[in-house]
């Protein structure tokens, strides 16, 4: 007993220190960015990172938490990008309402297509949503107002590091609060066993569509940030490749872990930049690393575990979780746990 108490205080201090260090770093980066002491190139990477974090976590809500394997996320990003860009450019709307309008437009389309397509399961849903992403792209190419394949430009350069940072914080807060609430648990029930969920009173279709709409909303917001950062958008930026890129972040980080998506988004945004020195071999190394991670950790870097669980959040019930904080069978971060015995990575690999 005494030993575990000591262990607890130790953890508490480590947590405290980590949190402190994180906040300090964040404050420093903000200050430097404000004073203009971070060069444009780095600031640009950080901005793209933030946009990717929003995209990956919002897709993870649909794929990892609700368990609906949808892969047309770039389509919703495109809707947000175009709607907000058109509003700021042609209607001179301020940035915030334009961003929200872009998100709402994406959510509305998500709602409209989610109701019929979410009846499909597994591979069928994946293909339907992939097709959907393409349909959105083709519609944008053919609409007169979007500039078609030539692209659209002329929007004010609203997006900066602070906007993206704010959007990331809001996204993470909303998503993690959602998932740690009664409706969020209903969503997990849908993923675990749709049939059983229905029989305990969870309207499964409603929750699937809800997750899809919320995920689409944030994809739309990310699109708006993207449009006002790059200042030039064309439909080819929102194709299948972009959808796959977002999906890769989700799978690499771990289906069902927001922390995983954040880390994967950071890594997969930074990695190509670090590999610039290798010029021709860049994409080869990038791909090889991905394959390696998937071979070694098929459940993704974080499995279904969140960083606060790894750091021992025991606020969720009396008595704490005896040795369980990392306890996901799909693999906590290399943490030995009892559950791991029944779901080794090998075994999980079979499920894929």
Partner 1 sequence: MVDPTVPLLDVRGLTMAFGGLVAVANFNLSLTPGELVALIGPNGAGKSTIFNCLTGVYRPTRGLIRLKETDITGWPPHRIARAGIARTFQNIRLFRDLDALDNVRIAAHLRQKATLAEAILRLPRFRREEKRITEESYELLELVGLAHRARQKARTLPYGEQRRLEIARALATRPVLLLLDEPAAGMNPQETDELTQLIRMIQEKFNLTVILIEHDMRLVMQIAPRIIVLDYGQTIAEGSPEEIRSNPRVIQAYLGGEAVV
| Residue number, 147 or 303, with CB nearest to partner 1 | 303
> Which CA distances in Å does 83 have to 42, 90, 103, 227, 233?
28, 10, 9, 10, 12
| Residue number, 78 or 99, with CB nearest to partner 1 | 99
Residue 167 and residue 226 in contact, taking contact as beta carbons nearer than 8 Å = no
| Residue number, 223 or 332, with CB nearest to partner 1 | 332
| Residue number, 159 or 257, with CB nearest to partner 1 | 257
Minimum CB–partner distance for residue 280 and partner 1 (Å): 43
The token pair at 63 is 């794929």
Minimum CB–partner distance for residue 192 and partner 1 (Å): 4
| Residue number, 133 or 312, with CB nearest to partner 1 | 312
| Residue number, 242 or 330, with CB nearest to partner 1 | 330
> Which CA distances in Å does 50 have to 88, 105, 170, 213, 270?
21, 21, 12, 21, 11
Minimum CB–partner distance for residue 316 and partner 1 (Å): 8
Minimum CB–partner distance for residue 200 and partner 1 (Å): 4
Minimum CB–partner distance for residue 213 and partner 1 (Å): 11
| Residue number, 181 or 236, with CB nearest to partner 1 | 181
Residue 257 and residue 305 in contact, taking contact as beta carbons nearer than 8 Å = yes
Cβ atoms within 10 Å, residue 42: 14
Identify the CA nearest to 293 among candidates 324, 261, 264, 262.
Answer: 264
Binding site for partner 1 (CB under 8 A): 173-174, 177-178, 181-186, 188-189, 192-193, 195-204, 210, 304, 316-322, 324, 327-330, 338-339, 342
Q: Which residues pair with 153 in a beta bridge?
A: 232
Minimum CB–partner distance for residue 283 and partner 1 (Å): 35
By DSSP bridging, strand 152-153 and strand 232-233 are antiparallel
The span from the CA of 300 to the CA of 332, in Å, is: 9
The span from the CA of 118 to the CA of 124, in Å, is: 10
Minimum CB–partner distance for residue 256 and partner 1 (Å): 8
> Using CA of residue 78, residue 80, residue 85, residue 86, what is the dihedral sign?
positive
């Amino acid at each position: 007993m005494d030993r575990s108490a000591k262990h607890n205080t130790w953890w508490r201090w480590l947590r405290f220190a980590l949190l402190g260090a994180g906040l300090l770093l964040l404050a420093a980066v903000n200050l430097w960015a404000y004073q203009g002491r971070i060069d444009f190139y780095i600031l640009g990477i950080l901005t793209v990172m933030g946009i990717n974090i929003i995209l990956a976590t919002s897709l993870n809500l649909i794929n990892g938490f609700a368990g609906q394997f949808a892969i047309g996320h770039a389509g919703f990003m495109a809707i947000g990008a175009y709607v907000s860009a058109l509003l700021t450019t042609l209607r001179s709307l301020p940035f915030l309402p334009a961003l929200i309008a872009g998100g709402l437009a994406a959510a509305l389309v998500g709602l409209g297509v989610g109701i019929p397509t979410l009846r499909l399961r597994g591979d069928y849903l994946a293909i339907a949503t992939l097709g959907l992403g393409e349909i959105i792209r083709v519609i944008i190419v053919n609409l007169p107002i979007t500039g078609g394949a030539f692209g659209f430009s002329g929007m004010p350069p609203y997006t900066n590091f602070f906007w993206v940072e704010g959007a990331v914080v809001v996204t993470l807060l909303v998503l993690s609060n959602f998932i740690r609430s009664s409706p969020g648990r209903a969503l997990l029930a849908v993923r675990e066993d749709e049939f059983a969920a229905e029989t305990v009173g969870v309207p499964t279709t409603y929750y699937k569509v809800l997750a899809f709409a919320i995920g689409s909303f944030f994809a739309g917001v990310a699109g708006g940030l993207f449009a006002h950062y790059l200042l030039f958008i064309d439909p080819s930026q929102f194709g299948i490749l972009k959808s796959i890129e977002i999906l890769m972040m989700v799978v690499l980080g771990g289906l069902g872990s927001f922390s995983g998506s954040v880390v994967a988004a950071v890594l997969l945004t930074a990695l190509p930049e670090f590999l610039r020195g290798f010029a021709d071999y860049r994409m080869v190394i990038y791909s090889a690393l991905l394959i390696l991670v998937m071979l070694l950790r098929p459940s993704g870097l974080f499995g279904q575990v969140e960083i606060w669980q790894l750091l021992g959040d025991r606020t969720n019930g009396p008595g704490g979780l005896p040795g369980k904080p990392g306890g996901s069978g799909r693999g906590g971060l290399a943490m030995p746990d009892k559950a791991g015995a029944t779901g080794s990575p090998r075994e999980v690999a079979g499920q894929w």
